[in-house]
């Protein structure tokens, strides 16, 4: 993702910033947090047939818990004045331009 941000000249981001939920990229001054979520680990229903073949029940519970935690963290960040963007790995592969435009739009809105 960092390479893509650089290629599209999206600047000002930081990684590994200590912030609730550990976003992948943060624009601190604009208060924009970006999460790049893996489809399997975060339970994206994108039709990629990512159902586990072993320990299916265990993985299903884990993914449900992850989704609930994600929603709680994002709501908490929003309440604290952060714009939160989630980009799914499948979207990033198929539509990188669209993902970058979503990020740029969020940054621009926060600069106003």
Helices and strands, number each (H, E), in the chain: 4, 3
Q: Give the pLDDT confidence of 34-55 residue by residue, as tens digits.
A: 999 999 999 898 877 677 888 9
Question: What CATH number was assigned to the domain covering residues 2-111?
Answer: 3.40.960.10
CA distances from 22 to 16, 18, 95 (A): 7, 6, 24
pTM attached to this predicted model: 0.90
Q: Is the pLDDT of residue 90 over 90?
A: yes
Question: Average pLDDT for residues 94-112, to the nearest whole number?
Answer: 93
Nearest 5°: CA angle at 38, between 41 and 81?
100
Q: Give the pLDDT confidence of 3-24 residue by residue, as tens digits.
A: 999 999 999 999 999 999 999 9
In a 13 Å sphere around the CA of 22, the CA atoms on its Cβ side amount to 3
Q: Are 13 and 5 in contact (CB under 8 A)?
A: yes
Output the pLDDT for position 50. Answer: 73
Q: Give the pLDDT confidence of 53-74 residue by residue, as tens digits.
A: 889 899 999 999 999 999 999 9
């Amino acid at each position: 993702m960092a390479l893509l941000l650089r290629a599209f000249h999206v600047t000002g981001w930081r990684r590994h910033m200590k912030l609730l939920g550990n976003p992948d990229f943060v624009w601190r001054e604009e208060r924009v947090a970006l999460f790049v979520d893996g489809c399997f680990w975060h339970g994206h229903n994108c039709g990629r047939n990512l159902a586990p073949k072993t320990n299916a029940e265990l993985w299903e519970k884990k993914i449900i818990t992850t989704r609930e935690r994600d929603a709680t963290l994002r709501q908490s960040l929003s309440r604290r004045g952060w714009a939160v963007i989630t980009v799914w790995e499948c979207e990033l592969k198929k539509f990188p331009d669209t993902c970058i435009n979503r990020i740029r739009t969020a940054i621009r809105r926060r600069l106003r």
